[in-house]
Amino acid sequence: MFNAKTCNIKSVILAKVGMTMVVIGAFLVTQALAQPYPAKQIRVVVPFPPGAFNDTLGRTIAQKFVETGFAQAIVDNRPGAGSTIGTDIVAKSPGDGYTILGVAVPFAVNATLYARLPYDTVKDFTGVIHAGSTPNMLVMHPSVPVGSIKELIALAKAKPDQLNYASTGSGTSNHMSMELFKLMTGTKITHVPYKGSAPALVDLIGGHVMMIFDNTPNVLPHVKGGKVKAIAVTSLKRSELAPEVPTVDESGVTGFEVSVWFGVVAPASTPRDIVSRLNSEISKIIAMPDVRQRFVNGGVTPIGGTAEQFTEHIRNEVAKWGKVVKATGARVE
């Protein structure tokens, strides 16, 4: 028999239980949100393989996060597709400060180098910190009859498309340095991409390719060993690592500059206070004597600065390299 009174009592009980669950749920959410950042492990995604400075930076940050007691942290190397695989992982991660990305020049170049990307370089990320920078150095095999930038330009114009250069892949600073050089000098030099600096330098030393713009620390030992010859560096000022080597700018290509930069970004949805906290902690890390020495050993100058300054730097780099990519027709589908 239907009992209205019993039914009403059950409804009231169910309603109270439901309200209690809502209150408990809200309490748990509030407690979770109230936990001070960081409350769990931070993942530092490095979209490059181990070995180069990109990886060194990520490992240094993770190590110091742990040593200083700031947070537990791990490095997650996700190389491939010109660094776009690891970058996409972070683009699609929650903006909670627990997944950050180590970036370098390809991060900005890929915005126009690729016909389609699964993320938007500018809209999907926010800068955290500009960690450091280093110039590239143009080096050649000793058999190439060139000893200066002017001589290279003359030879390249006399033999269009007959000279070649190595890079560590499309969109890298090695690739873009030469594409900018070709654009500014009106020369034609053939691109030979490799999967990393090591195999490119092996072939350069072996005489299979003629030249490369590579990170100064990577090539300097081979210069000192007489295996390759240094022609110029890409910074506006001479490198402290090799003050005897002129800049491309002072060698006649006025205004030529390529800064091989390194930094950290986070998903764009990351709250400003968390971005500021990360910026502050990484700034402290960069200032540590042992870390600064690690940078110097890698030929990298520590930079630092605010998150907003690095965000603006990325925007400027996207615009700069976008012009070079469009002018040269470089493209990765």
Q: Which residue has the tokens 């400003």?
A: 272
| Residue among 314, 319, 321 at smallest CA distance from 126 | 314
Domain with CATH 3.40.190.10 in the chain: 135-233
CATH (one of 3.40.50.920, 3.30.420.10, 3.40.190.10, 3.40.50.720) for 135-233: 3.40.190.10
Cis preceding-peptide flag for 135 (omega within 30 of 0): no
pLDDT on residue 10: 52
Residue by residue, pLDDT tens for the chain (333 residues) are: 445 555 455 554 555 545 555 444 444 434 444 579 999 999 999 998 887 788 999 999 999 999 999 999 999 999 988 899 999 999 999 999 999 999 999 999 999 999 899 999 999 999 999 999 999 999 999 999 999 999 999 999 999 999 999 998 888 899 999 999 999 999 999 999 998 888 999 999 999 999 999 988 889 999 999 999 999 999 999 998 899 999 999 999 999 999 999 999 999 999 999 999 999 999 999 999 999 999 988 889 999 999 999 999 999 999 999 999 998 888 775
Separation in Å, CA 191 to CA 45, 169, 188, 328: 29, 10, 10, 12
| Residue 16: per-residue pLDDT | 54
The beta strand positions in the chain, using DSSP E, are 42-46, 73-77, 99-104, 125-140, 164-167, 190-193, 211-215, 229-233, 259-267, 301-302
Tell me whether strands 190-193 and 164-167 are parallel, antiparallel or unpaired.
Answer: parallel
Which residues in the chain are classed under CATH 3.40.190.150?
42-133+260-328
8 backbone φψ class: left, alpha, beta (φ>0; ψ -120 to 50): alpha
- The distance from CA 171 to its chain's CA centroid, rounded to whole angstroms, is 11
Joined together, the tokens standing for residue 281 give 């902690």
**Is 137 within 8 Å of 230 (Cβ atoms)?**
yes
H/E element, 327: helix 307-328
Enumerate the H helices of 37-104 as residue ranges: 53-67, 84-91
- Tell me the β-bridge partners of 332: 114
Position 28 scores a pLDDT of 40
User: Quick one: fold of 42-133+260-328?
Assistant: D-Maltodextrin-Binding Protein; domain 2 (3.40.190)
pTM score of the predicted model: 0.82
| Residue 108 C-beta-side C-alpha neighbours within 13 Å | 27
Three-state DSSP state, 135: strand
The pLDDT of residue 68 = 97
Three-state SS letters, 199-266: HHHHHHHCCCCCEEEEEHHHHHHHHHCCCCEEEEECCCCCCCCCCCCCECCCCCCCCCCCEEEEEEEE
> Which residues does 233 contact at the CB level (< 8 Å), separation at least 6?
135, 136, 137, 138, 216, 239, 242, 245, 246, 247, 248
- Helix axes of 84-91 and 105-113: crossing angle, nearest 10 degrees: 90
pLDDT at 211: 98
CB 141 within 8 A of CB 227: no
